[in-house]
Amino acid sequence: MAILKLEPAFKEYIWGGDKLMKDYHKHYEGKVLAESWELSCHVDGSSRIAAGPFKGKSLQEYIDWEGKKVLGSHCAAFDNFPVLIKFIDARENLSIQVHPNDEYALNEEGQYGKTEMWYVADCVKDAYLYYGFSREISKDELKQRIQDETILEVLNKVPVKKGDVFFIEAGTLHAIGKGIVIAEIQQNSNVTYRIYDYGRKGADGKKRDLHIEKALAVTNRSPKVCTDGFEPHLGSCKYFTVDKLTLDGRVMKEMSGEVDGSTFVHMLVVEGSGVIQNGEEVPFTKGDSLLITASTGRFGVSGNCQALITTIP
């Protein structure tokens, strides 16, 4: 089994910025980089193996060659690779959107829905995001406010700081505000229903599509309650579990663990640098994405860093 450093798939959207290139060491030739898909087997963008005998191969090609045993027995419950992990750099406000649950998405889109978790990796002063509604509203009022473009008036506007965590169940209306870098752990899906986009136009000069009827069908119109993630355990659902690793390089400067045959372990480095070892040593720095395959056994991490650790429950 192995410790694999991954290279992401890149997404250039109109609201993106340059922080992923400047601060998270993403090697991208464009000027605007909105998202880097760090752990992905999705057809819309797959991560790749960065080094070793499989260098340049997609993650899916690696899995096909080595067999699904590298993912662990817990992944047998899923038809496809269960998660998609990404960095998001919002230079501008993202659209107000919602994701469907599995049942609706499978019926309407032929793929799974999306529940996700956000970790605020960085943000400017006075940054905020939208997370559900400030009060319960009817379906008729929601439809009218979408048509009148007054939807922002009834959304729950939440100030954010670095390290904040938001668990976003399917059906929750949400949007990332400008000046925020998010680490997102989500179901392996790319289904999004957009209901408000500030009147922006895409590269073709046309306003981006809205998906109002589908959004009305799946949106939970009750207010959401914000709850803080308690470190080191940040969040869990049937699709993924996320914990935070913090090493200060002084008192807590190393950690050891063991990866059995039940699940792979993914490590997304959000601050600092260090080394992960399992017979071999793999150095890492801020922005790196590392996959520890199932049954790798004992491993150790040392350095001064913060990382998000994702497993499959």
Residue 185 has pLDDT above 80, yes or no: yes
- 298 exposed, middle or buried (CB, 10 Å; 0-12, 13-18, 19+)? exposed
What φ, ψ does residue 142 adopt, rounded to 5°?
-60, -45
User: Poorest-confidence range of 30-39, 221-230, 256-265, 287-296?
Assistant: 221-230
Flag whether pLDDT at 228 surpasses 60: no
Query: Of all residues in the chain, what percent are helix, strand and coil, respectively (each to 5)?
Result: 15, 40, 40
Q: How confident is the model at residue 164 (pLDDT cuts 50, 70, 90)?
A: very high
Strand-strand pairing, 116-123 and 180-187 = antiparallel
Q: Is the pLDDT of residue 225 over 80?
A: no
Query: pTM of the prediction?
Result: 0.95
Say whether 234-311 and 7-68+79-229 share the same fold.
Answer: yes
Give the mean pLDDT of the chain: 94
Would you say residue 203 has pLDDT above 90? no
Amino acid 1: pLDDT: 64
- Those residues with Cβ within 8 angstroms of residue 94's Cβ, 6 or more apart along the chain or in another chain: 15, 175, 176, 177
Contact at 8 Å (CB) between 97 and 15? Answer: no
Closest-CA residue to 185 (of 244, 145, 249) = 244
Q: Which CATH number among 2.60.120.510, 3.90.226.10, 3.90.1150.200, 2.60.120.10 corresponds to the domain 234-311?
A: 2.60.120.10
Strand 193-196 and strand 165-168: pairing? unpaired
- Per residue in 230-245, pLDDT (tens digit) is 678 899 999 999 999 9
Domain spans, the chain: 7-68+79-229, 234-311
Q: Which fold has domain 7-68+79-229?
A: Jelly Rolls (2.60.120)
pLDDT digits (tens, 9 = 90+) for 136-159: 999 999 999 999 999 999 999 999
Reply yes or no on whether 194 is catalytic: yes
pLDDT digits (tens, 9 = 90+) for 42-60: 999 999 999 999 999 999 9
Query: Between the CA of residue 185 and those of 88, 166, 256, 299, 303, what are the distances in Å?
Result: 11, 11, 23, 23, 24
The one catalytic residue in 48, 91, 145, 194 is: 194
Cβ-contact 221, 137 below 8 angstroms: yes
